[in-house]
Amino acid sequence: MMRDRPGEIDINKLLVDIGDLLQEGATVNINIVLSKFLQALYVLTSKIDSIDKRINEINMKMSDINKQMYEINMKIERIEGRLEDVESSLSSIEGTVSDMKMQMSEVQSKVDHLGNMLGALTEATLSRFILEDLKKEGYVIQGHTRNYQLDGYDIDLLVDATKNGERVVFVVSIKVKPRHRDVSEVLGAADLYGSRHDVRVKPMLAGVWVGSEVEAYARRKGVIVVRF
């Protein structure tokens, strides 16, 4: 009779065979079946041992994983703590930046106010000097107007004068530090005024700090440049 290999023993078949042999009372066959059954138990026990060993290995790996997870969680907690510190620092910085913006806004407001005062003072002072210079050049001042409005143009000084019987209107832009756009604006204002009045118009640019480039550009355009 061929013996089955331990790994190929069918436990259910053995149980059926044992039941049949017990009913027949076959002692020898029962011994054979019992032998096979013991072999099956051996195989099962080996498998159970192998499974237990595998379970132990898995438990050890799980233990290592849990340890690693614990370390990771600790690192995360430390990182979260640092993030909270960073957020607190950022909040403090934002507060400081907000305060600085408010201070800068106040300073800018003061600077703008001083600039307006300086501009007004410059216009008033230079207007007098311009009138005096025109008189020295032989012009008779017939009238003058400061801050003359002309269709969007703000003419700082408009002077109506005569010389040798000829009437001339000076359209004057007065700036502390004139720029190229001031030249363009006084030219535009002079052209518009001349187109609406039958009179000779001369554009003039007056300033305290007149850059060489601005002065050269103005003179090329036919604008009188006056430095003070």
Domain-embedded: residue 29: no
pLDDT < 50: residue spans in the chain: 1-7, 26, 28
Whether 197 and 168 have beta carbons less than 8 Å apart is answered as no
* Cα distance between the two ends of the chain: 132
77 inside domain: no
Domain contains 71: no
Question: What gap in Å lies between CA 199 and CA 201, rounded to an integer?
Answer: 6
The distance of Cα 108 from the centroid of its chain, to the nearest Å, equals 23
Total-model pTM: 0.55
Establish if 87 belongs to a structural domain. Answer: no
Tokens at 70, concatenated = 């614990």
Quote the domain boundaries for residue 179: 137-227
CATH assignment of the domain containing 162: 3.40.1350.10
Note whether residue 195 is domain-resident. Answer: yes
User: Does some domain include residue 132?
Assistant: no
Name the token pair of 193.
């005024």
Number of domains, the chain? 1
Secondary structure (3-state) at 173: strand
143-181 in b/e burial notation, b at 16+ Cβ within 10 A? Answer: ebeeebeeeebebbbbbbbeeeeeebbbbbbbbeebeee
Residues 187-224 pLDDT 10s? 999 999 999 998 999 999 999 899 999 999 999 999 99
List pLDDT tens digits, range 75-92.
888 888 888 888 888 888
3-state secondary structure at position 196: helix
Q: Are 183 and 205 in contact (CB under 8 A)?
A: yes
Asked whether residue 178 is domain-assigned, the answer is yes
Angle between helices 212-220 and 180-196 (to 10 degrees): 30
For the record, the structure tokens of 103 come out as 């201070």
Query: Does some domain include residue 117?
Result: no
